[in-house]
Structure 1
Amino acid sequence: MKYLFIICSALFMLSCKKEAVIDQTLKPASPITQNELVLTKEQLKSIELSTVKMEKKQVSGTLQLNGKVDVDPDSKVSISSALGGHVKSVRVLPGKSVKKGDVIVIIEDNQFIEIQQDYLTTQAQLLSAAPNYNRQKELNISKSTSDKLMQQAETEYKSLLAVKNGLEEKLRLLNINPSKLSAGKIQRSISIVAPFSGIVSHVNVNKGKYVAPSDELVELINPQGLILKIKVFEKDLPKIAIGQNVTVFTNGNEDTKFNAKIVTKGNSILEDGSTEVIAKVVNLNSELVNGLYINALIDLENIDAFTLPEDAVVSFEGKNYVFEQIASGKFRMTEVQTGTTNGGWVSIQNHSSLINKSIVGKGAYALLMALKNKTEE
């Protein structure tokens, strides 16, 4: 047991000594600036390091973006009543699917009765006004009656006809069929029906509430009008084209994919450097609802780009960097904006200042650790 303790102690001391040597190896010999460091020949020997230059390659890949489900304005309808009245019944709830013609809200008011009465009264008056007008026309042709009497009959007939036609249109707005209206079938309530098959998104009334013609009773969404508002940053906007295919999935179900197609590109950049791209959903699914956040994958075609090997790009605190060799043993860290990654190569967006420069490939991560140690001292 004594010998086992001695062996474990020796191994522990050897491990600590090795870590101290490695830590000393990674410490820069001469701190210069926050993004530069110089290593001695001995330190360089301890790091397996190689340099490369940017290469122009054709790259393809996938651009992952975020967005939100919305509805085409033409497919979002605010339903109201043609005339004011009191809500007698509400037949729907938010999220409910309805078919075209389904009753949504029932409203009642005395003016509905008055309109029906006026229509039936006008229709009855026309039964005598029309024959009188025709008779006066025939008599006027033979000069058996004066022009004045004929004109009075014509005015009465056409005025009643105009009133009747106007009341018919009002009845149709109230979903009352004029041809089925009779003195024994006057109704005091009207039914507000769904103009198309869709989903109820908002219900803004309750039983007993008085509503005016300008009040929105219910908002109805046509699922065929679902669109995606995808957020694209300025650096990625040139990669986007109208007609590109988009694969969509939600955070809650990454295995279920939906298809969409880009229909418009944003023409203005917001303060955060982004713009909105609109995509139209191709295969509808009940999982996509208005306001839902989604992930969008856009397949990019082969494009010419300046690239570096993946191991040349290192990440630190959410940003990407490369190390340029500016002299023997002297390196400068530069921030880069990366694009798509394909076949072990990553495209560099801000490549102009790095063309023909010697960039550290293998060993870039060791330089990052060394620079990080320098800044912490």
Structure 2
Amino acid sequence: MRTTIFIAILWLISACQSKEIHSETQNKENTTSLIELNPKQIQTMGISLGKLEKRKVNEFVLANGMIDVPPESRAIITAKMEGFVKKCDLLVGDFVQKGQVLTILENLRLITLQEEYLNVKNQLIFLEQEFERQSRLEEAEAGTKKILQKTTADLQSAKIRLASLEKQLEFVGINPATLQARNISATFVVTAPISGYVKSVSIAKGQNVLAETVLFEIVSKEHLHIELQVFEKDITKIHKGQKVYFQSPNLGNETFEGKVFLIGQNFDTQSKTANIHVHFEEKDKPFLPGMYVNARIAVGESEFWAVPEGAIVQEGEENFIFYTTNQKHFYQTPIRIKNREASWIAIELLKEIPENALIVEKGAIYLQGAMQNEEE
């Protein structure tokens, strides 16, 4: 229906006499008179005019960023020693609990490590007994001081070696306190250091992995937040506690709410931005780390020139409004959109217009179409 009306309007305009006007006023204003209309054409196009007024509207700072997690909510799991992958059942997206076995690795050198630990442990028992015996002999002046000194040195060396082996076993996940000859094994398990979702799996069964090889990456969603980049000109407007409204292209047009929690104290000289840390509560939504977001930070109320939504037309990436000073000659002037609130749009005039100008509040789209038709 709208298309039919639009075509009819264009036909009517082309049938009437209209022409471009180039006047001294236009040169002074640095704008172009696009079209001359008579009252009948104005009525047919449904054009309504109004005075450009200032309104108090919420001022927003626009920013982009992404959903992220703090460092303690992200874990990269590596192999603590070389080994063959004996078991690996996890898939990307699986949820794992802290302490859950992620994979089992096998290394025959682990048998030697456990064997040495048990031997040193037994040797330590003998040396402690020998130390007590030599101490009693020394007290009774039945032994030699040299033998006691050697026994003492051997005992201390054994304690040091045992402590070192204990740490090596604990490092690969083996509990020295429960290690006995009957449960020596060539395998060791790799467990999850945090609860979260498996982001990546970098191994396969049978693969030989070296020490420090990355096996998995796990991300927890418990502390999701947003990292926004705010431009230099806007950073002084940002304060802790301000409301933030954001959307993610991945989640459609739904708007979510958060608050400014931290304001970064470092300024990126390349991007000319500072980092803003935002907390939000709606964690039940399918947010994922790395999701891109568009955000508006509410920084207070300000007075702006405001026009109805239907007053603005777009050409490429630029926005314009139309005005007239005599309800006959219509001019186009560029604007910058500052904010949208209800059916009103706050704008910034990029060029001055006369004080007595009336704005085309309704029918601007038809006026634009008529202008384009005349240019053709």
In 2 relative to 1, CA 126–350 (structure 1 residues): closer, same or farther, beyond 3 Å?
farther
The answer (yes or no) to whether the contact 1:199–1:220 under 8 Å persists in 2 is yes
1:210-265 CA distance string (max 9 Å, x none): 11111001111112243334566677766654434445565565487765444445
| Residue type at the aligned position of 2:163 | N
> What is the TM-score when the length of structure 2 is the normalising length?
0.76
In 2 relative to 1, CA 131–184 (structure 1 residues): closer, same or farther, beyond 3 Å?
same
Q: Give SS of 1:176's match.
A: coil
- The more displaced of 327-336 and 317-326 is 327-336
1:193-226 CA distance string (max 9 Å, x none): 1122211111111111111111001111112243
CA distance in 2, matches of 1:370, 1:235: 39
CA distance in 2, matches of 1:101, 1:38: 72
CA distance in 1, matches of 2:173, 2:202: 21
- Other-structure match for 1:19: 11
Q: CA RMSD in A?
A: 4.0
- How far off its partner does 1:355 sit? 8.6
- Other-structure match for 1:10: none
- How far off its partner does 1:155 sit? 1.8
The answer (yes or no) to whether the contact 1:86–1:109 under 8 Å persists in 2 is yes
CA distance in 2, matches of 1:17, 1:248: 40
In 2 relative to 1, CA 16–184 (structure 1 residues): closer, same or farther, beyond 3 Å?
closer
1:319-376 CA distance string (max 9 Å, x none): 212346689966653322211223554323466x5498455413682664555456x3
- The more displaced of 111-120 and 274-283 is 274-283
CA distance in 1, matches of 2:369, 2:187: 78
1:98-146 CA distance string (max 9 Å, x none): 1122111100111111111111011001001123334445655677655
- How far off its partner does 1:170 sit? 1.4
In 2 relative to 1, CA 259–313 (structure 1 residues): closer, same or farther, beyond 3 Å?
closer
| Residue type at the aligned position of 1:320 | N
Q: 5 Å matches for 1:20-59?
A: 20-21=12-13, 24=16, 27-30=19-22, 35-37=31-33, 43=38, 46-47=41-42, 50=49, 52-55=51-54, 57-59=55-57
The answer (yes or no) to whether the contact 2:35–2:371 under 8 Å persists in 1 is no
The answer (yes or no) to whether the contact 1:234–1:274 under 8 Å persists in 2 is yes
- Other-structure match for 1:157: 155
CA distance in 1, matches of 2:151, 2:354: 97
- Other-structure match for 1:339: 338
- Other-structure match for 2:3: none
| Residue type at the aligned position of 2:340 | T
Q: Give SS of 1:167's match.
A: helix
The answer (yes or no) to whether the contact 2:10–2:370 under 8 Å persists in 1 is no
The answer (yes or no) to whether the contact 1:100–1:197 under 8 Å persists in 2 is yes
CA distance in 2, matches of 1:185, 1:250: 53
In 2 relative to 1, CA 23–361 (structure 1 residues): closer, same or farther, beyond 3 Å?
farther
In 2 relative to 1, CA 51–246 (structure 1 residues): closer, same or farther, beyond 3 Å?
closer
- How far off its partner does 1:58 sit? 2.5
5+ residue gaps, structure 2, are: 1-6
- Other-structure match for 1:214: 212
CA distance in 2, matches of 1:245, 1:301: 8
CA distance in 2, matches of 1:234, 1:319: 23
- The more displaced of 68-77 and 252-261 is 252-261
CA distance in 2, matches of 1:43, 1:274: 51
Of all paired residues, the percent bearing the same amino acid is: 24
In 2 relative to 1, CA 89–257 (structure 1 residues): closer, same or farther, beyond 3 Å?
farther
The answer (yes or no) to whether the contact 1:38–1:331 under 8 Å persists in 2 is yes
The answer (yes or no) to whether the contact 2:173–2:190 under 8 Å persists in 1 is yes
| Residue type at the aligned position of 1:103 | V
1:163-210 CA distance string (max 9 Å, x none): 111111111122211111111111110111112221111111111111
> Is 2:81 aligned against 1:89?
no
- Other-structure match for 1:74: 72
- Other-structure match for 2:278: 279
In 2 relative to 1, CA 346–297 (structure 1 residues): closer, same or farther, beyond 3 Å?
same
- How far off its partner does 1:69 sit? 3.5
5+ residue gaps, structure 1, are: 1-14
CA distance in 2, matches of 1:91, 1:278: 36
- Other-structure match for 1:116: 114
| Residue type at the aligned position of 1:216 | V
CA distance in 1, matches of 2:183, 2:34: 98
Q: 5 Å matches for 1:81-230?
A: 81-137=79-135, 147-230=145-228
CA distance in 1, matches of 2:171, 2:332: 72
CA distance in 1, matches of 2:136, 2:354: 102
| Residue type at the aligned position of 2:131 | Y
CA distance in 2, matches of 1:321, 1:65: 23
- How far off its partner does 1:80 sit? 1.5
| Residue type at the aligned position of 1:19 | W
CA distance in 2, matches of 1:157, 1:240: 65
The answer (yes or no) to whether the contact 1:53–1:357 under 8 Å persists in 2 is no
The answer (yes or no) to whether the contact 2:324–2:330 under 8 Å persists in 1 is yes
